[in-house]
Structure 1
Amino acid sequence: MIKDNQKILNRVHIVIDAVIIIISYVLAWYLKFKSGIFDFEHLGFLRARVYFSALLVIIPGYLILYYAFNLYTPKRVQGRRVELGNIVKANTLGLLSFIVVLYVIHQPDFSRMMIFIFYGVNITLEMIVRYIIRLCLYNVRKKDYNLKHILLVGYSRAAEEYIDRIMSNPQWGYKVRGILDDNIERGTVYKGIKVIGRVDNLLVILPENRLDEIAITLSIQEYFKLEKIVAQCEKSGVHTKFIPDYNNIIPTRPYTEDLLGLPVINIRHVPLSNTFNMMVKRVMDIIGSIICILLFSPVMLITALLIKLTSKGPLVFKQERVGLHNHSFYMYKFRSMEVQPELHEKKAWTTPNDPRVTKVGKVIRRTSIDELPQLFNVLKGDMSLVGPRPERPLFVEKFREEIPRYMVKHQVRPGMTGWAQINGLRGNTSIRKRIEHDLYYIENWTIGFDFKILFLTVFTGFINKNAY
């Protein structure tokens, strides 16, 4: 059965990982001390025996880290990107722990360069070997070996979506044996999967012990049957999972938390609702805004001088915007338009060849230099370096009625740049598409994602054809 195969595969995987760690370490030692590539330090301080005796701690330590970072979960459960991320995280923690231990035991002569080489080599070899393992499993499962046999209980949209994903990912090795349902006629087929009987047939099917898993995919109207079905499945000892039929009610990525034993489903996953994540992002904003203010201070001084010499009015223009938790704040910009009455200014967005825009304004708007004063908004805490762009209260009231989930963007701080902006969604572009990109950012936020957006902003965000 698949459970026994998985146990064997995990044990083999642990042995393979141990061998990779040894190979990576030996290769790192060779590259550092024997290859001649790193001639600036020789093996004069410590003997090879001391270096290789460290493997007695490194091997079990790294295997424990791999286990902690879920690198021995089945390949069908963990995607390649997630696995790659976990490999990097585990090795990074291993690297830092290694260095800390060397300081604690007072080993200043142990080559740090070799440790970093080991870090890079080990990640690379782990990625290659795990890709090969995935490829082998994929080919094995294509030949109907090492499959996981599943029965679905309940015909619903959740059942159809589950089958869709299984069909489009044959490398998972899932084999759906059929569907049980009380309301759909026996023999009904969906993508080759038949309704083979009623829910009560579980009493006959489960004792045969030919299934690896039961997936409960009841429609939401039949949840009153759930307790009885779970009890039957648990009694048989077959692994059971529940796939809820609520995509039409909760169209996002919910997550479950434990409240003293009570499971609570949160409708939307917002990583920045976590206090630690908020603190990390805020520290990054403070440091980043200070660096940018110092870096761009010559550009801001020159811009201020040009604005003062070419038109009358204040250097900086402030405008009310809606930010975190729907609180209003004043966002700063270099003035790029002629001074006009506030009521007239609020009527609409800027249009192409807008006569209100000054000559200097055309340049600084097109290059996004007019946005630089927002670095002070970031420093104050009104904004973040990265996040959904804030909008004026007038348009917020308009869009909240017209566009579903528009107000979700206010669950995080607005940003100077964002996922929508680097994808060209600025100025006169689809608000709906902007919100889709903003929601994707909110639900998938990581520090790495922020750095990616900031990096891409340099190439795609500053100069934009829709900024006028």
Structure 2
Amino acid sequence: MYVHYAFALAAAVASVAATNYALGPASRRERNRTSSYREASPEEHDGQSGNLTPSGDGLNLETTQLGEIADAAERGRRPSSAAIKRGLDIVLSLCLLGFLSPLLVLTAVAIKLDSRGPVLYRQRRVGFGGKEFEVFKFRSMIANAEANGPQYAAVKDKRVTPVGSVIRKFRIDEIPQAINVLRGEMSFVGPRPERPEFVRELEQEIPLYHCRHLVKPGITGWAQVKYEYAASVEGARTKLRYDLYYIRHSSPLLDLLIVLMTVRVALFGLGSR
């Protein structure tokens, strides 16, 4: 048990150090400067023309070309790059399930005692190439939460159970998706898979939204550590900027950075989803 705690503390320290080093002073200043408006809007005024311009670490949807995103995704599918990413996926998923196995058992018991319904549930999502699959998650909402049809999850969603609010804050509800990674349906790092009902709407409303499906979806991703819940079309538009940034700059080093940033979010409840 003490080894687990020591490892968690070391991971937390490493994640903070790594993200601070990787982002650098300039990026930290940009992040602080933009934190106030990100809660209300994904964009800011440029101070001269009055036009809205995107913040850093995300691509501008108005100027980004489909070709450059497609080319970047194709580079990631080269045999050498794909083998490295798949290797990282398997190692990280096995470590996640093995290292956190005591927590997974406690979570399952807590969910069962907290409310009626299954501990795990499956939900249809859209993955690589637009192919649908079933994602595994710990149940964090009441049973029959969508009796009236699919709904976006909000920050203070009344459907979330007491235990669900805790496991969502620390991203524990996402851990079972490591099974999807081992099955090859997801990657450890990538754009979050969205539900088919929402994808159909968002592809009509947002340019380049279909580009998210040029790579495998992930348990965590650049958008998840940079932005809060996307509970609307505009929120999804902002997250897409970060998803496209990830696809454009994807590399094993960036994947490891995102994993370390996710550790910080998971341990301290910081960041976004």
Asked if Structure 1 and Structure 2 have the same fold, meaning a TM-score greater than 0.5 normalized by the shorter chain, the answer is yes
State the alpha-carbon separation in 1 of the partners of residues 215 and 266 from structure 2.
20
Give the Cα separation in 1 of the matches to 2:87 and 2:197: 32
Give the corresponding residue for 1:437: 242
1:404 aligned to which of 198, 204, 207 = 207
1:323-354 Cα distance to aligned partner (Å, 9 max, x none): 0111101111111111117553x431223443
By how many angstroms is 1:465 displaced? 6.8
Higher mean C-alpha displacement, 420-429 vs 435-444: 420-429
Q: Does 1:309 align with 2:113?
A: yes
1:28-427 equivalences in 2 (<5 Å):
251-252=64-65, 268-270=71-73, 271-340=75-144, 343-344=147-148, 346-427=149-230
Are the aligned partners of 1:417 and 1:461 in contact in 2 as well (CA < 8 Å)?
Answer: no
Task: Give the aligned length.
Answer: 209
Is 1:447 the counterpart of 2:252? The answer is yes
Matched residue SS, 2:133: strand
Q: Shift of the alpha carbon at 1:388?
A: 0.3
- Aligned position for 2:7: none
Q: How far apart are the structure 2 equivalents of 1:269 and 1:287?
A: 24
Give the distance between the partners of 1:465 and 1:451, measured in 2 at CA: 17
The offset of 1:445, in angstroms, is: 1.0
Contact 1:250 1:267 (8 Å CA) reproduced: no
Measure the CA separation in 1 of the matches of 2:228 and 2:155.
16
Could you tell me whether the CA contact under 8 Å between 1:253 and 1:269 is conserved in 2?
A: no
Closer/same/farther in 2, CA of residues 250 and 405 from structure 1, 3 Å limit: same
Residue segments in structure 1 that go unaligned for 5+ positions in a row: 1-248, 256-265
Label 1:449 to 1:253 Cα distance change in 2 as closer, same or farther (>3 A): farther
Counterpart CA distance in 2 for 1:253 and 1:313 is 43
Give the fraction of aligned pairs with identical amino acids, expressed as a percent: 38
SS of equivalent residue, structure 1 residue 308: helix
SS of the equivalent of 1:333 reads strand
Name the SS for the 2:81 alignment partner. helix
TM-score normalized with structure 2 length: 0.70
The residue identity in structure 2 corresponding to 1:359 is P
Q: Secondary structure at the match of 1:430?
A: helix
CA-to-aligned-CA distance 1:362-409 (integer Å, 9 cap, x gap): 111111111111111111111111000010001100010110000001
Query: In 2, distance between residues paired with 1:387 and 1:312?
Result: 32
| Separation in structure 2 between the aligned mates of residue 250 and residue 327 of structure 1, nearest angstrom | 28
Return closer, same or farther for 1:395/1:447 CA change in 2, 3 Å cut-off. Answer: same
> d(CA) in 1 for partners of 2:86 and 2:188?
9
CA gap of 1:313–1:458, structure 2 versus 1, over 3 A, is same
Bigger Rg over Cα: 1
Distance 1:254 1:410, change over 3 A: closer
Higher RCO structure, 1 or 2 (CA under 8 Å, sep 6+) = 2
Distance 2:94 2:155 in 1: 33
Q: Which amino acid aligns with 2:88?
A: M
Shift of 1:436: 1.1
The whole-number CA distance in structure 1 between the counterparts of 2:225 and 2:212 is: 17
Change (3 A) 1:309 1:325: same
2:65 is aligned with what amino acid?
Answer: T
Number of the residue aligned with 1:211: none
Distance 1:267 1:465 in 2: 29
The structure-2 alpha-carbon separation of the partners of 1:292 and 1:352, relative to structure 1 and needing over 3 Å to count, comes to closer
